[in-house]
């Protein structure tokens, strides 16, 4: 219930409502873009400051290694499941979307953990960045394989441009760069940046989630007429992925906060980075398919119900 009383979550729900009733409320795109970059910068700084205090440990290495493993395992599982009901291109696109991560879901989860007084490592921001690209690369490889097997199209899309776009994405670079700044500047930098990266954070997140609620409502339309498996996958896959992440975290003995965030990352789906790449890499797939699933179903589910559910389950397992 605490999650529903959080102003940021309430603004998200309000945004969904405003979108469903066809209100003309909107956040100008340049402002929405600024809010997204601000949140990534603030999160990166927070992670860098935390890493400055903790240093690089075996526990951190295990968490980052597990993040990369999940980023490979989840899209491969998704492709194998979806390929039985969908064509290779649709299956690859959806697998990439759910194999990658949602930064906003992650950022929201860090705020909810704060409400529960659950600590987490600053390195988890780096884990999020590491999980962004593997699914995209796998999707391109799977799509190239499908094209090579096609009698109508034997040309494959080269990976060089996709790799460059994935690893030099501005948002991802800002996150990692901010983390380096926080790591280098340490306690002195934290004091200087606190009014920017801490005091303003909650309000900025609420404003951004309002815009995300409006976008989620608009993407409901993209789900009409889609195969039933896509709707089921949008709800069941996050639960499955979070459960797998929980089991692996318990196996490695990771702390509660890191476990919850890895569950959230595994359960989330990308609606910014992956769609931007897939529009060029997989033109065979209608973006309404994977955008409708990730932003229309999975994102609202995780923000409203998923995050508190993952925390509850992780606590039970601890």
Class of residue 29 by CB neighbours under 10 A (exposed 0-12, middle 13-18, buried 19+): exposed
Q: What is the pLDDT of residue 165?
A: 58
- Give the whole-angstrom CA distance, residue 160 versus residue 239: 34
Q: Rounded to whole angstroms, how far apart are CA atoms 64 and 132?
A: 13
User: CB under 8 Å to 282, separation ≥6 — which residues?
Assistant: 89, 92, 93, 139, 140, 143
Residue (of 101, 164, 93) closest to 132 by Cα position: 101
Number of domain units in the chain: 1
Other Cβ atoms less than 10 A from the Cβ of 25: the count is 15
- Inter-residue contact 218 to 292 (CB < 8 Å): no
Q: Is residue 184 part of a domain?
A: yes
**Cα dist from 231 to 12, 237, 264, 293, 296, whole Å:** 21, 10, 19, 7, 10
Residue 87 lies in a domain: yes
Q: Does residue 60 lie within any of the structural domains?
A: yes
Q: Give the C-alpha distances (Å, rounded to integers) separating 128 from 44, 172, 190.
A: 10, 9, 21
Domain presence at residue 145:
yes
pLDDT at 10: 85
pLDDT at residue number 188: 92
Instruction: Compute the distance between CA of residue 67 and CA of residue 261 in angstroms, rounded to an integer.
Output: 10
- Alpha helix ranges (H) inside the chain: 7-20, 29-54, 58-82, 88-99, 103-115, 124-130, 134-149, 159-167, 170-197, 201-219, 228-252, 256-267, 273-281, 287-293, 299-301, 307-317
Residue at 21 is within a domain: no
Structure tokens at 53: 């205090």
**Residue 122: phi, psi to the nearest 5?**
-65, -20
At 154 the pLDDT is: 46
Q: What backbone phi and psi angles, to 5 degrees, belong to 277?
A: -80, -40
Tell me which residue of 233, 207, 239 sits closest to 290, measured CA to CA: 233
Angle between helices 103-115 and 29-54 (to 10 degrees): 60
Per the structure, the complete domain to which residue 126 belongs is given by 2-12+28-317
Assess if residue 17 is contained within a domain.
no
Q: What is the pLDDT of residue 248?
A: 97
Tell me which residues of the chain have a pLDDT lower than 50.
1, 154-155
pLDDT of 300: 92
Which pLDDT score, from 0 to 100, does residue 172 have? Answer: 66
Of the chain, the end-to-end C-alpha distance in Å amounts to 21
What is the rounded CA–CA span in Å between residue 42 and residue 9? 19
State residue 184's pLDDT score.
92
- Residue 77, both tokens: 């599982």
Distance of CA 212 to the CA centre of its chain: 13
d(CA 206, CA 190): 23
Query: For the domain that residue 165 is a member of, what is the CATH number?
Result: 1.20.1530
pLDDT in tens, 127-175: 888 887 788 788 778 777 777 666 555 445 555 665 665 566 676 678 7
Residue 22 located in a structural domain: no
Q: What is the DSSP letter of 45?
A: H
Model confidence pLDDT, tens digit, residues 74-97: 999 999 999 988 888 889 989 999
């Amino acid at each position: 219930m605490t999650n529903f009383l959080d102003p940021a979550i309430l603004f998200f729900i309000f945004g969904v409502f405003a979108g469903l009733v066809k209100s003309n409320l909107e956040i100008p795109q340049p402002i929405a873009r600024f809010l997204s970059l601000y949140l990534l910068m603030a999160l990166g700084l927070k992670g860098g400051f935390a890493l400055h205090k903790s240093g690089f440990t075996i526990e951190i290495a295990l968490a980052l290694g597990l993040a990369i493993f999940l980023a490979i395992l989840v899209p491969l599982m998704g492709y194998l499941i979806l390929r039985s009901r969908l064509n290779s291109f649709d299956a690859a696109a959806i697998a990439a979307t759910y194999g990658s991560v949602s930064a906003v879901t992650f950022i929201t989860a860090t705020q909810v953990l704060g409400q529960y007084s659950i600590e987490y490592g600053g390195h988890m921001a780096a884990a999020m960045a590491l999980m962004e690209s593997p699914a995209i690369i796998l999707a391109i490889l799977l799509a190239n394989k499908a094209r090579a097997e096609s009698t109508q199209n034997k040309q494959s899309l080269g990976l060089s441009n996709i790799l460059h776009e994935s690893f030099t994405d501005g948002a991802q670079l800002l996150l990692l760069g901010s983390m380096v700044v926080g790591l280098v500047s340490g306690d002195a930098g934290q004091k200087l940046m606190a009014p920017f990266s801490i005091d303003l954070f909650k309000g900025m997140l609420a404003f951004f989630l309002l815009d995300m609620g409006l976008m989620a409502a608009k993407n409901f339309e993209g789900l009409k007429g889609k195969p039933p498996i896509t709707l089921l996958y949008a709800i069941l896959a996050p639960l499955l992925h979070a459960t797998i992440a929980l089991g692996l975290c318990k196996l490695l003995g990771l702390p509660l906060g890191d476990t919850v965030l890895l569950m959230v990352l595994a359960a989330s789906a990308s609606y910014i980075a992956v769609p931007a790449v897939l529009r060029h890499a997989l033109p065979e797939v209608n973006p309404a398919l994977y955008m409708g699933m990730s932003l229309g179903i999975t994102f609202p589910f995780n923000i409203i119900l998923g995050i508190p559910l993952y925390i509850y389950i992780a606590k039970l397992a601890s």
